[in-house]
Amino acid sequence: MNINEYVKLALRTESIRPFDGTDHGRRASRLVHGALGIVTEIGELMAAKTTGDEASTPAGLAIALRNYKEELGDICWYLAVLADEFGFTLKESPEFDPEGTGFGVFIDSLSDHAKRTWFYNLPANVTSIEAAANGVFSCVCHLCSKVTGSDSIEEILETNIRKLQVRYPEKFSDWHAANRDLEAETKALTA
Ligand SMILES: [Mg+2]
């Protein structure tokens, strides 16, 4: 599955909230959704520890890695919303420094753009948003190869779509978001 196929499939489960009907309103709404979602998923990624006591046994490590990969996929889902809204293709940035600040500088930028677009009613800076989103994507790709070893980003994307197919058989709904079949989702993550 390439990244463009992934974006298309990911959007099937996007939650569209009411906005004021203008292009700016839609942009601001989806930018806030993407930026906030990426922040929350990075928090979940940090909680999915692949080192320490719980990951010290083969079974514990397998669960930890599964959770870690799930969160990498979740981050990609929110990147897909941004790529679609701002019309760019997600790709690894040639300037990405794996020894740098990690997600920090990129989520700072995305959050700032979301704030300015939504609350100050300023036009979105597409070039800067694309750069920040590709910075986040570069971090995801880097962590994917560093932490999981053999897994490719394509596998992470495919697993994410499998999970969402279980969670939302048709499309996003508030009911399905609140009533999840975690056992079936776990199966999809390990298929
Ligand atoms: Mg998550």
Taking the C-alpha atoms of residue 50 and residue 57, their distance in angstroms, rounded to an integer, is 11
pTM score, whole prediction: 0.92
Q: Which residue in 40, 20, 38 sits closest to 29, CA to CA?
A: 20
126-183 pLDDT per residue, tens: 999 999 999 999 999 999 988 877 678 999 999 999 999 988 888 888 898 899 899 9
- Pairwise CA distance, residues 86 & 158, whole Å: 23
Q: What is the 3-state secondary structure (H, E, C) of 80-93?
A: HHHHHHHCCCCCCC
C-alpha closest to that of 72 among 161, 159, 156, 186: 156
Domain positions in the chain are 3-11+18-190
CA 111–ligand 1 middle distance (angstroms): 18
- Ligand 1: distance of its center to the CA of 4 in Å? 21
Say which range, 50-54, 95-99, 132-136, 155-159, has the weakest mean pLDDT: 50-54
- pLDDT single digits (tens) 10-36: 999 999 887 788 999 999 999 999 999
Q: How many CB atoms lie within 10 A of CB 95?
A: 10
Determine the distance separating the centroid of ligand 1 and the alpha carbon of 41, expressed in angstroms.
5
| Rounded distance from Cα 45 to ligand 1 centre (Å) | 7
Question: Token digits for 33?
Answer: 């959704």
Rounded to the nearest whole angstrom, what is the distance from the C-alpha of residue 25 to the centroid of ligand 1? Answer: 26
Contacting residues for 8 by C-beta, under 8 A, at least 6 apart: none
Asked if residue 65 lies in contact with residue 147, where contact means CB atoms within 8 angstroms, the answer is yes
